[in-house]
């Protein structure tokens, strides 16, 4: 997921103090590609008012532009293929792909493009951007925890982030529901999005 974009507005002196990064992070500055084999983009939604259904998307591409010295100059981009939704139940997944929900045939991608980033304290960050589902674009803020960096056994330099955000699906036109005889509805409007990201540093150009 492209978590950090360099096209950020100039911050005030107060904001700059809040965003000041640990000098050790400066060495991590660079471009990264999300590794789907070691990352998860998931969601949780309340079902029938009594339990949670969890799912994930298996097909996506993302990049990070990370500025370890000034997190405000960081950014992210993510493209998720809706048809890859997986809740473990084929019939339910088919319903989610249908016109009642995502309409994956007409709107195959869910996208996120960052517009701002900030360090909120310690290893905590917040990235704000535009989330587009079914051609509806609305702002989304994702709270992230930086889990560090490492070089794997193949020599890849990696960084890890874990985060979450909550949305109302109706804000993006996902309004299908069914009333329960006992009161309430089949599917909650509130959805929790979760991100567990491992990204590999790109080789320098030239």
Residue 192 lies in a domain: yes
d(CA 32, CA 53): 31
Q: What is the CATH number of the domain that holds 162?
A: 2.40.128.110
Q: What domain range is 125 assigned to?
A: 13-201
Q: For the chain, how many structural domains are there in total?
A: 1
Residue 188 lies in a domain: yes
Residue 82 lies in a domain: yes
Spatial CA neighbour of 126 closest among 6, 4, 2: 4
pLDDT in tens, 58-91: 999 999 999 988 889 999 999 999 999 999 999 9
pLDDT in the model for residue 26: 83
pLDDT in the model for residue 15: 36
Unique residue bearing structure tokens 């905590």: 124
Determine phi and psi for 105, rounding to 5 degrees.
Answer: -70, -40
pLDDT in tens, 43-66: 999 886 778 999 999 999 999 999
pLDDT in the model for residue 206: 53
The ranges of the chain with pLDDT < 70 are 1-24, 48, 204-206
Residue 93 lies in a domain: yes
Residue 168 lies in a domain: yes
Angle at 175 between CA 181 and CA 47, to 5 degrees: 45
Residue 3 lies in a domain: no
Determine phi and psi for 87, rounding to 5 degrees.
Answer: -110, 5
Residue 72 lies in a domain: yes
Residue 2 lies in a domain: no
């Amino acid at each position: 997921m492209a978590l950090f974009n360099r096209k950020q507005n100039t911050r005030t002196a107060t904001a700059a103090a809040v965003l000041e990064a640990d000098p050790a992070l400066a060495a991590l500055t660079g471009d990264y590609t999300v590794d789907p084999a070691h990352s998860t983009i998931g969601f949780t939604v309340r079902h029938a008012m009594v339990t949670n259904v969890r799912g994930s998307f298996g097909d996506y591409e993302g990049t990070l532009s990370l500025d370890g010295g000034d997190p405000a100059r960081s950014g992210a981009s993510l493209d998720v293929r809706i048809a890859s939704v997986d809740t473990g139940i084929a019939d339910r997944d088919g319903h989610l792909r249908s016109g009642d929900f995502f309409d994956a045939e007409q709107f195959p991608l869910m996208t996120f493009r960052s517009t701002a980033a900030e360090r909120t304290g310690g290893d905590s960050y917040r990235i704000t951007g535009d989330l587009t589902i079914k051609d509806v674009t609305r702002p989304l803020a994702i709270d992230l925890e930086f889990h560090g960096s490492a070089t794997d056994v193949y020599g890849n330099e990696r960084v890890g982030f874990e985060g979450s955000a909550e949305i109302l699906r109706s804000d993006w036109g996902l309004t299908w529901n069914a009333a329960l005889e006992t009161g309430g509805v089949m599917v909650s409007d509130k959805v929790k999005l979760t991100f567990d990201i491992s990204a590999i540093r790109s080789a320098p150009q030239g």
